[in-house]
Amino acid sequence: MALAAVLATMLGQLAVALLAIGLAGRGAWAGSVLYAASAAAGAIATLAALASLLAAPAPPETLILPFGLPWLGAHLRLDALAAFFLAVVNFGGAIAALYGIGYGAHEPSPRRVLPFFAAFLAAMNLVVLADDAFTFLLAWECMSLLSWALVMAHHHSAANRAAGHVYLTMAGFGTLALLLAFGLLAGPAGDYGFAAIRSAPLTPWLGGGALLLAVLGTGSKAGLVPLHVWLPLAHPAAPSHVSALMSGVMTKVALYGLIRILFDLLGPPPGWASMVLLAAGGATAVLGVLQALMQSELKRLLAYSTIENIGVICVGLGLAIAFQANGMTAASALAMTAALCHIANHALFKSLLFLGAGAVLTATGERDLERLGGLIHRMPQTSFLFLIGAVAIAALPPLNGFVSEWLTFQAVLLSPVLPHWGLKIMVPAVGGLLALATALAAACFVKAFGIAFLGRARSAAAATAQEVEPTRLVAMALLALACLLIGLLPGYVIDGLAPVTRDLLGAVMPAQPAAPWQPIVPVVASRSSYSGLLVFLFIGVSASLAALVIHRVASHAVRRAPAWDCGYPEPSPLAQYSAGSFAQPLRRVFGTSIFRAREQVTMPLPGDLRPARFALQMRDLVWEGLYLPLAAAIGYAAERLNALQFLTIRRYLGMVFLALVTLLLVLALWPSF
Amino acid sequence: MPHGLAFDIAHLLAGGLVLMSFLLLYQVRLYAMLNIFALHALVLALSVAWQALVQGAPHLYITALIALVFKAITIPVALHRIIQRLGIHREIETVVGIGPTMLVGMGLVALAMVVMLPVTANADALAREDLAFALSVVLLGLLVMVTRRNAVSQVVGFMSLENGLVLAATGAKGMPLVVEISVAFSILIAFIVIGIFLFRIRERFDTVDLQALDRFRGERR
Amino acid sequence: MAVLLSLVVQAGQMALVLLLAPLLTGLVRRVKARLLRRRGPPLLQPYRDLWRLLCKEVVLAENASWLFRATPYLIFAATWVAAALVPTFGRGLMFSWSADLIAIIALLASARFFLALAGMDIGTSFGGIGASREVMIASFAEPAMLLIMFSLALIAGSTQLSTVATYMASAEVGLRVSLGLALVGLAIVALAENGRIPVDNPATHLELTMVHEAMVLEYSGRHLALIEFTSALKLLLYVSLIACVFLPWDLAPPGAGPAAWAIGILAYLLKLGACACLLALFETAIAKMRVFRVPEFLGAALMLGLLGTLLLFVSRSL
């Protein structure tokens, strides 16, 4: 039932895409109607997926469609994991489409956005539903290509073209890795149905190889360091509601692939896989947020912060593997729930923040934080909603980001019972990295919100900005509401995720209390508990009490006056702290070693009227140390192979002959054939 | 005496030794480093004395006494004088910053534990943690030597390394006294030799920065 | 009836921290002054200061937004709630289950988040410098705090402060290096979080050396009163935290009678007094650091937390 509903909405999205090819650009109304249709389809699919998730113990629905490989067909399957991800994908998609109604009117070339947008949503749905490797890879590749087309929507700027180039290369690499992973998983029998893969056990070596390839393939899509380089280029280049989709939703689809392969298809994952994920996750979290702190462009900052959150999720997944490999299924369920919860939360608040950045972009035409400021006066609603997103992503109570970070920390705290010494010592260290990343994320979003929305306007565009349309505000408000609700009532989310962990790990977290004010309990109440609602009410009551008492007893007088600033107020808004200067202390502490940041101040001599100059130089060591040499090596190899283009026919024939003989030799010498 | 308390105090002292090694890493001034080293030796002496009490091995008291007299008093005082005479009480030039050094140190401690604890799983709890801590102290001492340019601080790193060896020796029951005394004396002789060398280096190059030696050998540029 | 009683006890705790916070600040100032052979302000001076500030009019910068005006109430509420969740005179209070130590740290982080934003609201350079340095300090102090909390939680098997306090008061604890490391680390974090010497100087108004004061430079009147009150509450919170974990004696058990509560409050007052004297002594004995020494100082706390966790693995029970 739910599967049919989701399929119908996918067809609806495709229809929107087809109509959009003809209609987009005919006028603003056409775009609005199409975006509204897409939003409606997304909403229906969200409801269907949620219904399927909550009706959990029911067996998974399956369907075989007669396309794809002739002997295989397209297998589709809707189980609890898929239902959860469908809900995340479609909710994010519906909100982005709703936002698109207003945002599309500002789009110079709607024909380059709308058709791909709807088809992109359908492709992501198909990835999640796929039940055989062929359909999965096909949908995965469609998702990559369609999002590439969206990144290239504004292809007039050279930076965007470069971003598209890097993205396409990395997406190709990721798909290749996944292709090989599925090749290993399917084994010599070559049965690409997931059911067959599930039932066929692999040798440790082959399984390990498939696992590493899967981590590479999905990690390159999700943005795991060092495969993240395309992400901060491509996500900001797309139109903002597409950025929200790519950052908030597509990275989650990549993680879906990882979870599906690691926990479902591969059988019980080996223990060492947890070390890989923990190390990669910890490094990703810290590097991502440090990079985010150094950015002065709002959307790029958000993209880097996505990398950080992917790291946090990977730490959760790594913990889940570690516990599961050692037979502690309850702890494993806790870690898995934390990761899934963070997946949903990040989809919500990152979409919210990207949509907010899009509102700022259309209102001011500025991406650069150094030219924004004071928007809280011009765009009060947007800034309030963006603030909610910022508080949520900074993992502050009582919003949802804190809940998932808290659950992850609780899982970290269970690590001493692990029997493996390396893990025992590694997990607290990774926990420290996670704590560092959390604190830096708060700093990063103080900067993002403080520079863009507070203070005085740094440019004329920011000083004259106008609030955006109501539809866009509604889209953002829905996300903010979801952030708040999950933060206040996390118990329901944890219970809702129970079918997923039961399917994957065979264990669930303890059932949470039914009453909304009772605290959530990850293990036992005496160990740890947290109630978002109570904390929220507590703060609300205390703040109102304080306000009440103070307004009773204290002076009411308020006088507006120029800013004090220790007696030396500087009239130019350019004298305010900028994004660069805000990050300077942290750049000095971390940047000198990690980014090789070098500051150079040139002071004029006394009496000289030249202005002082400040130059900052930063380098991306991952890019320079890994990608440039790789690109150089590939260039070199290509140069050598270039000679093969200019051979005589006899030599070409000789090469074909040689290849044939080599293959036959391999066949003859291969032991198992 | 309850076994729990005996273990707790031994653990406290041995852990204190690791902490002292970290303090050595954290210090950038020579005098402060010497004071910490004296403290290092004092903690070692206490730890050895406690082991003597717990194990009922009186010869360990002699080891403790040697540690106290030579390492906690004589050598620091002597080094203090040397620094005074050389006039090098400025800051030590570290090769890498303090933060990364501490991180590496933390990694080394983790490594020592990951290596030692599974290997000694069947040993007595007391010997087990002593060995893990001792290996950490040895590795941290090496780290001090590697990350400092100044010859005096390298001597201090070397001595702290030796303290780790003594801790390991006392933890393993039945280590004969002769071995310890010979170790102690060899260290003393090494100290004297190094002391003489310090003055020789100073006379010839006007500095105790070991880079000067590298330059002299033509290894740098 | 029992619910009502525990509600009253919880309310009592909230009132107690509110009442004692300015007194603690006054005590520290007083002892510090005596150590410097000054006479020093009277003990109750902080109360008078607060009252005077409350009676003054608010001078608001022309471009102050709603966030600037709401922040004092928000941070006061967040800090007050956090302070109410730390056991002071009794364990297992009614609302103590609504948040554990991680949540308390996060509540303080929320307060700091909003205060830093308020510092940037007017668009002055001092507000910016304060906010930027505050988040730099916080991004070391918070992970250090969490790592220290890890080692505590691993020892006590819980992040719930009531449970931790119960465990620490029991005989099972024994002597552990990790606890000592955690104590030193926690003290360092507490100094940094409260802007005490050597990280920041609460008494200075020299622009270039201040962090916290630079952020709140534009506040006046009742808003400033609330912010000052919040700082006092935060100091009290950290002292109570150290007291409840490392001096866990004479905490009234849940459901105890008035006699146990009275003993608990008396013991709490003594602990506060002792900690205040130690703080004053330390602050008098040490000089303020350069801003860029602070990361090393807090990095040491972070290392202590990590080392404490590592050393736990070679101890008895883990």
Q: Which two tokens stand for residue B89?
A: 């009480």
Mean pLDDT, range B97-120, rounded to an integer: 84
Between positions 101 and 130 of C, the ones with CB within 8 A of B are none
Whole-number pLDDT of residue B221: 45
What is d(CA B187, CA B191) in angstroms, rounded to the nearest whole number?
A: 6
Instruction: Return the partners of chain C (3 or more C-beta pairs < 8 Å).
Output: A, B
Neighbours of chain B (3+ CB pairs under 8 A): A, C
Across the interface, whether the CB atoms of B129 and C314 are under 8 A apart is answered: yes
Separation between Cα atoms, residue A497 and residue A474, nearest integer Å: 27
The whole-model pTM stands at 0.92
Q: What share of chain A is helix, strand, coil (3-state, %, to 5)?
A: 75, 5, 20
Helix (H, G, I), strand (E, B) or coil at A48: helix
Q: What is the pLDDT of residues A57-113, one digit of tens each?
A: 778 888 888 877 777 788 999 999 999 999 999 999 999 999 999 888 888 888 889
Query: Residue A355 pLDDT more than 60?
Result: yes
Query: Which residues have CB under 8 Å from C39's CB, separation 6+?
Result: C33
State residue C208's pLDDT score: 62
Please report the pLDDT score of residue C291 as a whole number. Answer: 82
A470: helix, strand or coil: helix
Averaged pLDDT of chain A: 91
By three-state DSSP, how is residue A617 classified? strand
Among A635, A627, A638, which Cα is nearest to A233's?
A: A627
Among chain C residues, CA nearest to A582: C132
The rounded distance, in Å, linking the Cα atoms of A657 and A405 is 60
SS3 for A353-400 is HHHHHHHHHHHHCCCEHHHCCCHHHHCHHHHHHHHHHHHHHCCCCCCH
Reading the block at residue C61, the tokens are 């910068």
Q: Judge residue A199's burial from the number of C-beta atoms within 10 Å of its C-beta, 0-12 exposed, 13-18 middle, 19 or more buried.
A: exposed
For C175, which of B12, B103, B106 is closest by C-beta distance? Answer: B12
State whether residue A422 sits within 8 Å of chain B by CB: yes
Domain ranges of chain A: 2-184+205-511
Helix (H), strand (E) at residue A62: strand A61-65
Residues of B with CB under 8 A from a CB of A: 97, 100, 106, 110, 113-114, 117-118
**Which one of A293, A407, A529, A545 makes the best mutation probe of the C interface by having the most chain C beta carbons within 10 Å?**
A529
Q: What is the mean pLDDT of residues C94-104?
A: 86
- Residues A541, A535: Cα–Cα separation, whole Å: 10
Q: Taking Cα atoms as reference points, which of A436, A430, A433, A406 lies closest to residue A418?
A: A430
| Residues B160, B147: Cα–Cα separation, whole Å | 14
Reported confidence tier of residue B199, pLDDT bands at 50, 70, 90: low
| Phi, psi dihedrals of residue A75, rounded to the nearest 5° | -90, 135
Number of domains in chain C: 1
Convert the pLDDT of each residue in B145-163 to its tens digit. Answer: 888 877 778 788 888 888 8
State yes or no: pLDDT of A354 exceeds 80.
yes
Among partner residues C177, C180, C307, which is closest to B109 by beta-carbon distance? C307
For A272, the token pair is 């060492």
Could you give the C-alpha distances from A11 to A30, A38, B177, in angstroms and in order? 19, 11, 85
The conformation of residue C97, written as its DSSP 8-state character, comes to: G
- Please state the rounded mean pLDDT for residues A275-295: 95
Residues of the domain holding B166: 3-217
Q: Which chain C residues touch A421 with a CB distance below 8 Å? A: 313
Instruction: Give the pLDDT confidence score for residue C234 in this predicted structure.
Output: 96
ipTM: 0.95
Q: Residues B143, B146, B148, B154: what is their CA dihedral angle, to the nearest 10 degrees?
A: 90
| pLDDT band at residue C134 under the 50/70/90 scheme | very high
Task: Cite the beta strand spans of A279-379 per DSSP E.
Answer: none
- Tell me the pLDDT band of A383, cut-offs 50, 70 and 90: very high
DSSP state of B148: B
Number of domains in chain B: 1
* Contact of A186 with A179, CB cutoff 8 Å: no
Instruction: Place A130 in a pLDDT band, splitting at 50, 70 and 90.
Output: very high
**Beta carbons of B11 and C296 less than 8 Å apart:** no
| Cβ–Cβ under 8 Å, residues B11 and C300 | no
pLDDT band at A289 (very low <50, low <70, confident <90, very high): very high
What band does B178 get if pLDDT is binned at 50, 70 and 90?
A: low
Structural domain including C194 reads 2-312
Assess A327–B contact: CB distance below 8 Å, yes or no: no
Q: Is residue C24 part of a domain?
A: yes
Q: Is B118–A429 a contact, with Cβ atoms under 8 angstroms apart?
A: no
The distance from CA A206 to its chain's CA centroid, rounded to whole angstroms, is 29
Residue A369, token pair as written in the block: 């934080």
Nearest to A316 by CA among A331, A299, A300: A331
C89 and C13 in contact (C-beta within 8 Å)? yes
> What's the confidence (pLDDT) of residue B180?
64
**Taking a contact as any Cβ pair under 8 Å apart, which residues of chain C between 271 and 300 contact chain A?**
291-292, 295
| Cα→Cα distances A330→A505, A507, A530, C144, Å | 9, 6, 19, 28
pLDDT digits (tens, 9 = 90+) for A315-325: 999 999 999 99
Q: C180: which chain B residues are within 8 Å (Cβ-Cβ)? A: 12
Position A537 scores a pLDDT of 93
Give the pLDDT score at C318. 44
Of A49-53, B62-66, B109-113, the poorest mean pLDDT is in B62-66
Does A459 score more than 60 pLDDT?
A: yes
Q: Which is higher by pLDDT, C301 or B87?
A: C301
Query: What's the Cα-to-Cα distance from C286 to each of A344, A423, B34, C40, rounded to whole Å?
Result: 48, 40, 21, 19
3-state secondary structure of C178: helix
**Cα dihedral value B103, B106, B111, B114, nearest 10:** -140
> Are the Cβ atoms of A425 and B113 closer than 8 angstroms?
yes
- Span C110-132, average pLDDT: 93
Angstrom distance (rounded) from CA B197 to CA B208: 10
